[in-house]
Amino acid sequence: MNIPKLQIQATNAQIGITTQRAVQEIQQPQANLDLQQPQAKMTIQTTKSKLSIDAHDARESMGYQTSMSRTREIAQQSKQDALEGTARRAQEGIELMSIEKGGNPIADQAKRRGKQPYSSINIKFIPQADSIKIDFEPGKVDIQVEPQKVINNSTINKPIHNYTPGKVKIDLLQEPSLKIDWIV
pLDDT for res 1: 63
Identify the residue with better confidence: 121 or 96: 96
CA distance linking residue 109 with residue 115, whole number of Å: 10
User: Is residue 180 within 8 Å of 11, Cβ to Cβ?
Assistant: no
Interval 23-38 mean pLDDT = 93
Backbone angles phi, psi at 170, to 5 degrees: -110, 125
Tens-digit pLDDT profile for residues 41-84: 999 999 999 999 887 777 777 777 778 878 888 899 999 999 99
DSSP per-residue letters across 7-45: EEEEE--EEEEEEE--EEEEE-PPPB--EE-PPPEEEEE
Q: Which of 20-29, 95-104, 163-172 has the lowest mean pLDDT?
A: 95-104
Query: How high does pLDDT run on average in the chain?
Result: 86
Is residue 116's pLDDT more than 70? Answer: no
Tens-digit pLDDT profile for residues 15-29: 999 999 999 999 999
Q: Which DSSP symbol is given to 122?
A: -
Interval 96-125 mean pLDDT = 75
Is residue 5's pLDDT more than 90? Answer: no
pLDDT for res 51: 92
Tens-digit pLDDT profile for residues 127-146: 676 778 889 999 999 999 99
pLDDT bracket for residue 126 (50, 70, 90): low
User: Is residue 183 within 8 Å of 3, Cβ to Cβ?
Assistant: no
pLDDT for res 155: 92
Is residue 86's pLDDT more than 90? Answer: yes
